[in-house]
Amino acid sequence: MDINLPGMDGYEAMEALSSDDRTKDIPVIAVSAAAMKSDIEKGAAAGFEGYLSKPFNVSEIIETIDRHLNTDGS
């Protein structure tokens, strides 16, 4: 999820998803141009499962998504 969404930022959207029983267990990965350590820590504190900064590294995107969609228990 992009942190800089129009109308509702990614943190507000994450809060809404986390508070709804239907969506609270869906892993959400933040994407943003902000890549300072404090930005990444803020994302983790907000409940994002991962934090990817732009410009994207395709292999990092695939690895992050695979890690959070893995259904074999590892």
Indicate the number of domains in the chain: 1
* Confidence band for 23, pLDDT divided at 50, 70 and 90: very high
Report which residue type is found at 32: S
* C-alpha distance from residue 15 to each of 21, 45, 58, 60 (Å): 12, 11, 27, 25
The whole-number pLDDT of residue 39 equals 93
* Confidence band for 72, pLDDT divided at 50, 70 and 90: low
Please indicate, yes or no, if residue 4 is contained in any of the structural domains: no
If you average pLDDT over every residue of the chain, what do you get?
89
Q: Is the pLDDT of residue 71 over 80?
A: no
Nearest to 28 by CA among 14, 40, 15: 14
Please indicate, yes or no, if residue 3 is contained in any of the structural domains: no
Residue 32 structural domain: 10-69
Its pTM stands at 0.79
